[in-house]
Structure 1
Amino acid sequence: MIEKTFTIIDKDGIHARPAAILVSTVSKFKSEVIVEYKGKQVNLKSITSLMTLGAGEGDQIKVFVEGPDEEEAFQETEAVLKISIVVK
């Protein structure tokens, strides 16, 4: 399992367009990808679940990836987070 914490620095937080890109990217992998925010965990393959988190600028999210292609899934997830949602 791979686990990493990210801080959202985008002033809009996690909003619809980048969330859709993220879900589309993650959905092509067999691994399970989970996002945790304030103790709530959601499947990153569900845009509805992701949007209900309400994570905004300055908030920290934790990403967990586990499965047969977890390395590749994590790398692509991290890349999309850094480009679309602007995290550090």
Structure 2
Amino acid sequence: MLVTKITVNLHRGLQARNTAIFVDKACSFTSDVILSKSGISSDGKKLMRVMDLNVKDGDEIMLMVHGCDEHVTFDTLKSFLLEK
């Protein structure tokens, strides 16, 4: 399992369009993806669950990835969350 804290650097955070892109990327891999903010965890492959976290630009979140392709999944999603 790979785990890291990330300060989200996306214009408008994980709202609407960015959430759809994130979930699409997460679903393209077989590894489990969990996002956590303020002690609340959500399945990173479920659009509404990710939106429920209300992640804004500058928020600190925890990204957890576990599975057979966890390294590439982790790197891809981390890069997306740190995108400017």
Same fold (TM > 0.5): yes
TM superposition score normalised by structure 1: 0.86
Segment drifting more, 1-10 vs 23-32: 1-10
Please name the residue that 2:59 is paired with. Answer: 59
Match of 1:33 in 2: 33
Aligned to 2:2: 2
Instruction: Tell me how large the CA RMSD over aligned residues is.
Output: 1.4
Question: Could you tell me the TM-score, scaled by structure 2's length?
Answer: 0.90
In the alignment, structure 2 segments of 5+ residues that lack a partner are none
Aligned length: 84
Structure 1 position 11, deviation (Å): 5.2
Question: Percent identity, aligned pairs only?
Answer: 30
Where does residue 70 of structure 1 map in the other structure? 70
